Structure 1
């Protein structure tokens, strides 16, 4: 088992090395420039995300689609991932994580556009889409579409079920002494109640849960920043200085250098917002929208909330807390956020526990949908029930087992998802420009596309 774990660990390290980060960040920059900085339209995107479009074709509202994507995206990576980046790359990693989110908006916009452009309607009236359909219908690469769907289905059991279940069971055990198997059983029951209701049930639950959990977590961050108010500006200064300085970061930090700060900041940012991974467009394809560009804008707002807002606040909380409390050991990334929140008297630990539980559960819900649609692409509806049952059972096993091997396998599957998705974005960039020119640059955002 140890040998197998080392094998996948080596593959994961290779796949998520500098070549992958250059490919991902390069795609972010390429699409940002080619699409004339769609980030400029972020406030239009936010407005559209809460605007109903009942006359449009689709299964769920644009907000329901966004909430489901955010549910799968806003996870433990926003809490633990940022802390890990700071512990390994220093305070400068926070800035690189934030910049990855800013430029990743263009990639998430592009994924949403292609999801609507190449989606298909089933015989029973449901909408199906995502990178596998863009690869097949847009580029004629059926074989690569099959590989993407297979990697997505496999990845769902890692990042979606077992990893998130383990985060929930460990949190409840460490905070309140609840047996991990009991947490696993409860989560299995709740998850089953949601996912067997289909995409409308998933969107409805996520539409309620995501704004509530995100607001609750942000309030906790604001409270900590208020407590640390005299250290907030020094923390911001330290973050910018250490992002570009090869020298020691100061404030008790060991100098990690520009390369390490960039490496861990970019990697955590990419893991956090999933821009370029190809997961979010699977649910974006189900949205009720008049044209591809409207949903593209709505999808892009997900990266804004996930990384530009939530990850940035987490990073600022962590760095300001380390400056404010010298007793915090910043070298242990897994417990760094927990120590920062513990400085809120009485409420800090429960607030963080609630954040981890809701973030992890919502991620499990969203990824079940992604995996299910991947399975449906590969085999039709005949294996969907089997997939749901196995997925729910994997939550229980994830809550009680050691997940080192699972993490490494999931990381490999995520990287293998990203490669075909990024290829579709790059090779279909002409379509992205054409659709954007027609609806966004041409001022026809309210027009209906011909489907």
Structure 2
């Protein structure tokens, strides 16, 4: 069994997904006119107006925080350290590249999730890849397959992985028994997940900004303490990415391949662009401006914050500390803890343990939200099935905290890879719709209007959308009477 799982993992990550992710990202980057670069400032303009929600949907800010809660986890602290250890400093360059390219993919999947969202029996919005596969492509079996892979990966395996990282960090830093950590995690997570999607979104809205800004502040302190070494570190990353650093040793090709594979793998695990997971949060929002593309901009920002900001913080701490030693066996959370302790003193290790607690715990509850969204897609609000799954998911948290999960990492990568493949095929097949949404949104911006999606303009889409989700023949709304205010939003 292990041999089969390892074979599939090597096949997916050794060739297929690398080409598919880079190819899809490059395709959407070009077709959308390099949207992540040209409209970089507009992401923040949308963010300023993102706190409006509705009775049916969470706010765009809550959707961003929920997606960041899932994105910002062990991949940012543990995963970056592992990528450095296995792929060298060059892995960070490829992590950056997959994030920058993946921002356009995140726009595509999130805009589609918004467009094809539905309402559940309680009147709440539900959306995501499974929904746009069923409605946009007319392929429910494809959506069901995606949903199953996501439930296995996010609802079960990833939560065990996150819980394991928390329990080990608490054991190392505070000598807390793993079973105590596991029990506490299961109880607190249960209180949140039994409150449903809105409870999870509210929790993420409160916690995620605080934890992200706190970690960024610590990283900036380390950077300023070593400001003279920054140019050399950046040069090392770039040279290692292309094998220049290893050229004289005759292993440049192998070094580049390891940097490429580990950088892309860890980058995807962290920012999830193209995987289709964050689109589940995007599809649950009531966006402002009331247009599917606005949620695309919000989720592009999520990829940037996760990888370009937070993952880079971890890489900077490790590389500046001098604790990174290839072949030493020191990797993962231990390497990150040692690095920060070396820079700021003995309190660095406990700080990383606390950061892991918050980063990984928020991932647990957000991962559960994604899984529940797809369970609803499969079972259509089966109350008994939902209760059973909640209990089973919390059981996996306990199992992960006290058990050995080495083989689970490989299973997680396989499930994540299969999810990504299915989702990439779907968004490429629906690429014309993505381009229509982007053109419609930005066409209205150029006219000084608040972008508003009018389904009457797209009769070919009307039959695919749930009735009442999008307003029909709504008159375009002026954005602002004052030119200065209008210009600020159109930036």
TM-score over 0.5 for the alignment? yes
Q: What TM-score comes out, normalization by structure 1 length?
A: 0.93
**What corresponds to 1:381 in structure 2?**
381
> Does the CA-based 8 Å contact 1:274-1:280 persist in structure 2?
yes
- C-alpha spacing 1:232/1:54, structure 2 compared with 1 (3 Å): closer
The whole-number CA distance in structure 2 between the counterparts of 1:249 and 1:61 is 51
**What corresponds to 2:452 in structure 1?**
447
**Residue aligned with 2:123, SS:** coil
**Residue aligned with 1:342, SS:** helix
2:100 to 88, 102, 114: 102
Q: CA deviation at 1:206?
A: 0.4
Q: CA deviation at 1:245?
A: 2.9
Residue 365 of structure 2 is aligned to residue 365 of structure 1:
yes
The whole-number CA distance in structure 1 between the counterparts of 2:406 and 2:11 is 17
Of 264-273 and 67-76, the range deviating more from structure 2: 264-273
**What corresponds to 1:273 in structure 2?**
271
**What corresponds to 2:61 in structure 1?**
63
**What corresponds to 2:431 in structure 1?**
429
**Is the radius of gyration larger for structure 1 or structure 2?**
2
**What corresponds to 2:476 in structure 1?**
none
**What corresponds to 1:239 in structure 2?**
237
Q: Where does 1:188-203 land on structure 2 (aligned, <5 Å)?
A: 188-203=186-201
The whole-number CA distance in structure 2 between the counterparts of 1:226 and 1:159 is 38
**Residue aligned with 1:436, SS:** helix
Residue 410 of structure 2 is aligned to residue 399 of structure 1:
no
**What corresponds to 1:120 in structure 2?**
118
Q: What TM-score comes out, normalization by structure 2 length?
A: 0.86
**Residue aligned with 2:39, SS:** helix
**What corresponds to 2:462 in structure 1?**
none
**What corresponds to 2:85 in structure 1?**
87
**Residue aligned with 2:346, SS:** coil
> Does the CA-based 8 Å contact 2:161-2:409 persist in structure 1?
yes
The whole-number CA distance in structure 2 between the counterparts of 1:414 and 1:307 is 18
The whole-number CA distance in structure 1 between the counterparts of 2:409 and 2:93 is 26
Q: CA deviation at 1:411?
A: 1.6
The whole-number CA distance in structure 2 between the counterparts of 1:125 and 1:261 is 46
Say how many residue pairs are matched.
Answer: 444
The whole-number CA distance in structure 1 between the counterparts of 2:42 and 2:105 is 17
Q: CA deviation at 1:445?
A: 4.8
> Does the CA-based 8 Å contact 2:444-2:451 persist in structure 1?
no
**What corresponds to 1:321 in structure 2?**
321
The whole-number CA distance in structure 2 between the counterparts of 1:327 and 1:138 is 49
Residue 83 of structure 2 is aligned to residue 78 of structure 1:
no
The whole-number CA distance in structure 2 between the counterparts of 1:329 and 1:175 is 24
The whole-number CA distance in structure 2 between the counterparts of 1:386 and 1:339 is 41
> Does the CA-based 8 Å contact 2:117-2:127 persist in structure 1?
yes
> Does the CA-based 8 Å contact 1:107-1:276 persist in structure 2?
yes
The whole-number CA distance in structure 2 between the counterparts of 1:436 and 1:57 is 26
Q: CA deviation at 1:176?
A: 1.1
Q: Where does 1:161-172 land on structure 2 (aligned, <5 Å)?
A: 161-172=159-170
**Residue aligned with 2:357, SS:** helix
**What corresponds to 1:145 in structure 2?**
143
The whole-number CA distance in structure 2 between the counterparts of 1:227 and 1:119 is 48
- C-alpha spacing 1:154/1:32, structure 2 compared with 1 (3 Å): same
> Does the CA-based 8 Å contact 1:88-1:331 persist in structure 2?
no
Post-superposition Cα deviations, 1:355-405, rounded to whole Å, max 9, x if no partner, equal 111111011010101111111111122111111111112111111111022
> Does the CA-based 8 Å contact 1:165-1:396 persist in structure 2?
yes
- C-alpha spacing 1:448/1:434, structure 2 compared with 1 (3 Å): closer
- C-alpha spacing 1:327/1:116, structure 2 compared with 1 (3 Å): closer
> Does the CA-based 8 Å contact 1:247-1:257 persist in structure 2?
no
Of 5-14 and 377-386, the range deviating more from structure 2: 5-14
Q: CA deviation at 1:71?
A: 0.2
> Does the CA-based 8 Å contact 1:158-1:407 persist in structure 2?
no
Q: CA deviation at 1:437?
A: 0.6
Q: CA deviation at 1:167?
A: 0.6
The whole-number CA distance in structure 2 between the counterparts of 1:5 and 1:161 is 21
- C-alpha spacing 1:243/1:142, structure 2 compared with 1 (3 Å): same
**Residue aligned with 2:404, SS:** coil
The whole-number CA distance in structure 2 between the counterparts of 1:66 and 1:396 is 27
1:160 to 158, 161, 171: 158
- C-alpha spacing 1:329/1:259, structure 2 compared with 1 (3 Å): closer
1:7 to 1, 4, 12: 4
> Does the CA-based 8 Å contact 1:69-1:280 persist in structure 2?
yes
> Does the CA-based 8 Å contact 1:282-1:373 persist in structure 2?
yes
* Aligned CA-pair RMSD: 2.1
> Does the CA-based 8 Å contact 2:292-2:437 persist in structure 1?
yes
- C-alpha spacing 1:327/1:163, structure 2 compared with 1 (3 Å): closer
Q: CA deviation at 1:298?
A: 0.7
